[in-house]
Chains A and B, each alone.
Chain A
């Protein structure tokens, strides 16, 4: 039997009391209307009885069935909190261990990657060293030969023009630079008093195409002071 007060947490007190005395199937009986009202509002089936006015507030007992809520004593609550804290600690420790494992894994991968890269770099440098040795020797021996191989044969280009051009024209100059090959052709002057046969640009272009060194050269007629010249220009 517990004395209740209308201002207390009635629901909790009632249930704790019932659990404490193992009377979960008892009925709730009180003579206090305020208590009865509050418990009724809380969903309890309360029987209101009449007692002498000087009697203390009495509640009890008797729930017809176990309440849906579980109530715990302070010691139980403390034990549960401790257990929960221990579980959280264990979980966070496992999390920290996973974090450490991931960190170690990453370290392993990155260290392996760096070591492999260093091995590749060392191999590359070794190869570079060996190649440079051979290269410098070859360079001193053959660089001049390599440059000469790319050199154009100017007298041959002149000879080709002399042979392939129409007879009305003669070669005035031939030049070669790193970028282009040029030639200047002019009308051949003859001492005899007769007119030169006419020469078309088409004929000249055909003759240029027949010359191996000058194939693809651009032909440009150039008007001088008193004579017409032709310039051939070809990119190398």
Chain B
């Protein structure tokens, strides 16, 4: 009789143990899946950090200052440029889109005509100025028409999210 009770107890406990084992296996699998899904994001972040570490720091300004500051630099930092730089859209029309980590960007188009003789050096300097700013050049073109050389640059200006 005692053996029968013992056998029944063993069987019940065994079934419970197998159930617990299955449950734990399932839970372990879920954790593994979470690790597998989160690991690529971490690796991508590390990879991007490596690239960021090699890049030159460029301080970002708040949105309301960034555009004004960029134009001021383009116009004021060299007398050559003078007032020939034209912004195709007013700052008020700019729409800021979130990039990541509190960084936003807006697309702006800058054009600057000049005569061909002065143009090349003129635009080389302007290009250098642009590269020093927190901008990304989406596309650009240099055209000569009727002895006038025109530089059109479609760029994205990066700024800190929010006005302040």
Contacts and interface: CB of A to CB of B under 8 A. Distances in A.
A140 interface: yes
A137 B7 CA distance: 64
Nearest to A110: B24
B87 interface: no
A131 B46 contact: yes
Contacts, number: 200
A108 to B, nearest CB: 8
Given A144-B134, A151-B136, A173-B143, A89 B17 contact: no
B88 interface: no
Q: Size class of B's contact patch? A: 35 or more
Interface string B18-58: 10111011011001101100110110011011011111111
Contacts of A22: none
B28 A117 contact: yes
A139 B17 contact: no
Contact of B35 (A96, A120, A156): A120
Given A106-B17, A148-B131, A176-B139, A121 B34 contact: yes
Nearest to A162: B120
B144 interface: yes
Contact of B13 (A100, A134, A153, A177): A100
Contacts of B144: 170-173
Nearest to A150: B136
Interface string B130-164: 01011111111111100000010000001010000
Contacts of A125: 38
Contact of B55 (A99, A142, A156, A172): A142
Interface residues of A, number: 61
Contact of A146 (B6, B7, B52): B52
A124 interface: yes
Given A110-B25, A153-B127, A140 B10 contact: no
A138 interface: yes
The SS class assigned to the B binding surface is helix
B140 to A, nearest CB: 5
Contact of A177 (B31, B55, B138): B138
B3 interface: yes
A110 B58 contact: no
B48 A103 contact: no
A141 B59 contact: yes
A121 B10 CA distance: 35
Nearest to A96: B10
A139 B100 CA distance: 8
Contacts of B124: 155-156, 159
A140 B131 contact: no
A2 interface: no
19 contacts: A96-B14, A99-B10, A103-B18, A103-B20, A114-B28, A128-B42, A131-B46, A135-B45, A139-B100, A139-B103, A142-B52, A144-B135, A148-B55, A148-B56, A152-B137, A153-B127, A175-B141, A176-B139, A178-B139
Q: Which 7 A-B pairs have the closest CB atoms?
A: A103-B17, A144-B134, A96-B10, A145-B55, A106-B21, A114-B28, A110-B24
Interface of A: 89-90, 92-93, 96-97, 99-100, 102-104, 106-107, 109-111, 113-114, 117-118, 120-121, 124-125, 127-128, 131-132, 134-136, 138-149, 151-156, 158-159, 162, 170-178
Interface of B: 3-4, 6-8, 10-11, 13-18, 20-22, 24-25, 27-28, 31-32, 34-35, 38-39, 41-42, 45-46, 48-49, 51-60, 99-103, 120, 123-124, 126-127, 131, 133-144, 151, 158, 160
